[in-house]
Amino acid sequence: MSTAHVLLGLLAGGPRHGYDLKRAHDERLPRAKPLAFGQVYATLGRLERDGYVTESGQDRDGGPDRTSYELTEDGRQHLDTWLSAVEPPAPYVTSEIFSKVVVALLAADAERARDYLVAQRSAHMSRMRELTTAKSTPGASIGDVLAADYAIGHLEADLNWLQTTLTRVAAFSKEVTN
């Protein structure tokens, strides 16, 4: 995820200050890692330097001055370009799960690989149940539902791979030891 692009998207609705941007990010992307205030302000500084946002005013709400930012025309074009770009599928397999299974097999320990796959499958199933419950909870936001659906889709793909790999561990083990 590009923090800069998310902030540009949040500013597309109108001027906001950093505190509001952080709160909106954390509310609208509920399953994403929350932003740190320092990250928000550092990103706003880079966006301003690059001409994508500009200061739109200052206000004081019972505390320090808060600078509001708004999207510039260049910022809107930059956001539109980013939103239109199709993301290429990941070219490499970078999953920790995949690496652990391969390393266990390379260590000629098919039983360890099998035990790990079973335990990982159990953890994935538990997480899927949590997400299914979370998205059907009364008052769940559309962001909560979308995030849960996205995560469940990835977990389902992992579960498919885990099951397929479990059935192939013996063959993989023979290949590694020969």
Please check whether residues 100 and 80 belong to one and the same domain.
Answer: no
In a domain, 108, yes or no: yes
pLDDT of residue 177 exceeding 80: no
Q: How confident is the model at residue 140 (pLDDT cuts 50, 70, 90)?
A: confident
User: Token pair for residue 155?
Assistant: 């977990």
How many independent structural domains does the chain possess? 2
Please check whether residues 23 and 56 belong to one and the same domain.
Answer: yes
pLDDT of residue 89 exceeding 60: yes
In a domain, 90, yes or no: no
Please check whether residues 101 and 50 belong to one and the same domain.
Answer: no
Q: Report whether 98 contacts 153 (CB < 8 A).
A: no
Percent of the chain scored above 90 by pLDDT?
48
Please check whether residues 53 and 110 belong to one and the same domain.
Answer: no
Note the pLDDT tens digit of each residue in 107-136. Answer: 767 888 888 889 999 999 999 999 999 989
Please check whether residues 47 and 103 belong to one and the same domain.
Answer: no
In a domain, 132, yes or no: yes
pLDDT of residue 103 exceeding 80: no
Check residue 80 and give its pLDDT. 92
Please check whether residues 105 and 173 belong to one and the same domain.
Answer: yes
Nearest to 118 by CA among 161, 158, 162, 160: 162
From 63, 84, 105, give the residue that closes a domain.
84
The number of beta carbons lying within 10 Å of the beta carbon of residue 120 is 19
User: Residue 67 is part of which domain span?
Assistant: 3-84
pLDDT of residue 12 exceeding 60: yes
Give the predicted TM-score (pTM) of the model: 0.67
Burial profile 41-51: b = 16 or more Cβ within 10 angstroms, e = fewer: bebbeebbeee
Spatial strand order of the sheet with 16-17 comes to: 16-17, 65-71, 53-60
Please state, in angstroms and rounded to a whole number, the distance separating the CA atoms of residues 70 and 56: 6
User: Token pair for residue 23?
Assistant: 């709160």
Please check whether residues 115 and 73 belong to one and the same domain.
Answer: no
CATH number at residue 27: 1.10.10.10
Please state, in angstroms and rounded to a whole number, the distance separating the CA atoms of residues 94 and 13: 36
Q: Which residue has the higher pLDDT, 146 or 178?
A: 146
Q: Report whether 17 contacts 60 (CB < 8 A).
A: no
Per-residue pLDDT, averaged over 44-63, amounts to 88
Tell me, rounded to whole angstroms, the distance of Cα 119 from its chain centroid: 24
